[in-house]
Amino acid sequence: MDFGYDARTEELLARLTAFLDEHVYPAEPVLTAQLADPARDRWSIPPVIGDLQREAKRRGLWNLFLPGELGAGLTNLQYAPLAELTGRSIQLAPAALNCAAPDTGNMELLAQFGDEAQRKQWLEPLLAGEIRSAFAMTEPEVASSDATNIETRIERDGQDYVVTGRKWYITGAMNPDCRIFIVMGKTDPAADPRRQQSMILVPRDTPGVTVRRGMTVFGYDDRDHGGHAEVVFDGARVPAGNLIGEAGSGFAIAQARLGPGRIHHCMRAIGIAERALELMCRRVGARVAFGRPLAAQGVIQDWIAESRVRIEQARLLVLKTAWLMDTVGNRGAHTEIQAIKIIVPQTVEWILDKAVQAHGAAGVSQDTPLAHLWAGNRTLRLADGPDEVHRRSLARRELKKYQEA
Ligand SMILES: Cc1cc2nc3c(=O)[nH]c(=O)nc-3n(C[C@H](O)[C@H](O)[C@H](O)COP(=O)(O)OP(=O)(O)OC[C@H]3O[C@@H](n4cnc5c(N)ncnc54)[C@H](O)[C@@H]3O)c2cc1C
């Protein structure tokens, strides 16, 4: 067993660290200023992200998430520590490298299941960072953690499909550069529950598509990465060739999309935890209460030690999962993918909470990134499957071993 990173990973880590130090961290206040600028269109992506993208491309730090020839060709194990580093500046670094959700999952989906025409029209500009995309599955009217509930209809009409339904929390869709939606809906409600759904490409400018409003997350509108939109599809008509894969394959494609998406979230979340721990240590070293630095208080030392231990535990499990995905495939790593999706957001939430507490009022303010990070991380316990759904499925698989025996 080798716990070291290979030479390519080490080399990319050094390059990425330099990019973060020289460009990304210094751009954080620039992003804040641009987001606050009333002269800018509220939902368009701040120009500092485009500047960083050009620099990242120039440095060969582009599409690192995507295995194979279309991307940087890294394994999950190679990408994991790089994604973790991007989590340290979560508002800027993943977008700067064209490695931000939901585009990453959408690009993977198109690379894996799109036909040649779909790849040419949508994957190529996404890989080049020219447009953005959204993934539209969740619906306000039904419990969408159970994908068989989805009510949006995708109905065949001659040479077209007609899409009708209402979605919400569609990340990225408020951004006008988000040109394409991958929509999940039912092509055959009478079929077997796992063969009812399909996925279809719906361009944003299709008549019948209305991006209605941005949803908030604990009050944050997340406009740095295109918000989370409510989107209505009212008889949106697209050519039959926009269907991804065959009719009825939507459920299977969604499962395939979520594996890498989940581990990428976890990798970045560990970077968030590292940043929070760093902020906590710096703060308690500099602030004095009752005659001594906060860092001298046993309770705070306990939080710091516990945070370090929890980060190391979480990282090891994420790396093991990445290694399994590389060696036995996403299906073989199913249990571990669920395990990290359960434990990493909770671990990071615990650490962020302690960092907030150690900062006092500043911890909940807009003057440190902690409050926003806490809000974003908390949603990971819902998005891409709530904790309880993963626990249920993991427990069932565990139980099955003994039932079979
Ligand atoms: C910030 C954010 C971004 C998002 N981005 C997207 C996006 O880009 N595209 C998209 O399609 N969706 C997106 N979502 C939606 C997200 O994927 C859903 O919220 C999630 O799948 C849960 O569905 P639901 O909200 O309908 O909850 P429901 O299905 O109504 O579930 C509610 C709760 O019931 C409980 N529950 C459900 N099933 C079980 C069970 N079997 N056992 C025990 N308890 C259970 C859980 O506690 C769960 O949280 C996003 C959500 C957020 C908050």
Domain 251-404 belongs to what topology? Butyryl-CoA Dehydrogenase, subunit A; domain 3 (1.20.140)
Contact, 295 vs 285, CB < 8 A?
yes
DSSP β-bridge partners for residue 136: 183
Rounded to the nearest whole angstrom, what is the distance from the C-alpha of residue 144 to the centroid of ligand 1? 6
In tens, the pLDDT along 197-237 reads: 999 999 999 999 999 999 999 999 999 999 999 999 999 99
Rounded to the nearest whole angstrom, what is the distance from the C-alpha of residue 148 to the centroid of ligand 1? 13
Percentage, residues of the chain above pLDDT 70: 99
What value, to the nearest 5°, has the Cα angle with vertex 52 and ends 9 and 378? 75
d(CA 278, CA 276): 5
Question: Where do the domains of the chain lie?
Answer: 7-124, 132-248, 251-404
Residue 349 has, within 13 A of its CA and on its CB side, a CA count of: 13
Rounded to the nearest whole angstrom, what is the distance from the C-alpha of residue 279 to the centroid of ligand 1? 31
Domain 7-124 belongs to what topology? Butyryl-Coa Dehydrogenase, subunit A; domain 1 (1.10.540)
Nearest CA to ligand 1 atom 53: 379
Query: Of 381, 383, 387, 357, nearest to 370 (Cα)?
Result: 357
Q: Is 394 in the pocket of ligand 1 (CB under 6 A)?
A: no
Mean pLDDT, rounded, for 269-298:
97
Model confidence at 405, in pLDDT bands (50, 70, 90)?
Answer: low
- Report the pLDDT value the prediction gives residue 132, as an integer from 0 to 100: 97
In tens, the pLDDT along 128-156 reads: 999 999 999 999 999 999 999 999 999 99
In tens, the pLDDT along 79-118 reads: 999 999 999 999 999 999 999 999 999 999 999 999 999 9
- Report the pLDDT value the prediction gives residue 112, as an integer from 0 to 100: 92
Domains 7-124 and 132-248 are alike in CATH topology = no
Closest ligand 1 atom to 379 CA: 53
Closest ligand 1 atom to 376 CA: 1
In tens, the pLDDT along 5-22 reads: 999 999 999 999 999 999
Helices (H), 115-155: 116-118, 124-127
Query: Of 28, 62, 66, 65, nearest to 48 (Cα)?
Result: 28
Nearest CA to ligand 1 atom 45: 388
d(CA 145, CA 382): 9
Model confidence at 24, in pLDDT bands (50, 70, 90)?
Answer: very high
Nearest CA to ligand 1 atom 30: 143
- The CATH class for the domain spanning 132-248 reads mainly beta
Rounded to the nearest whole angstrom, what is the distance from the C-alpha of residue 145 to the centroid of ligand 1? 5
Is the pLDDT at 257 greater than 80? The verdict is: no
- Report the pLDDT value the prediction gives residue 404, as an integer from 0 to 100: 67
In tens, the pLDDT along 346-384 reads: 999 999 999 999 999 999 999 999 999 999 999 999 998
User: Cα–Cα distances in Å, from 256 out to 209, 249, 330, 384?
Assistant: 26, 11, 8, 12
Closest ligand 1 atom to 101 CA: 8
Q: Is 255 in the pocket of ligand 1 (CB under 6 A)?
A: no
Q: Is 143 in the pocket of ligand 1 (CB under 6 A)?
A: yes
Q: Is 251 in the pocket of ligand 1 (CB under 6 A)?
A: no
d(CA 295, CA 359): 12
This model's pTM is above 0.85: yes
Q: Is 138 in the pocket of ligand 1 (CB under 6 A)?
A: yes
Q: Is 137 in the pocket of ligand 1 (CB under 6 A)?
A: yes
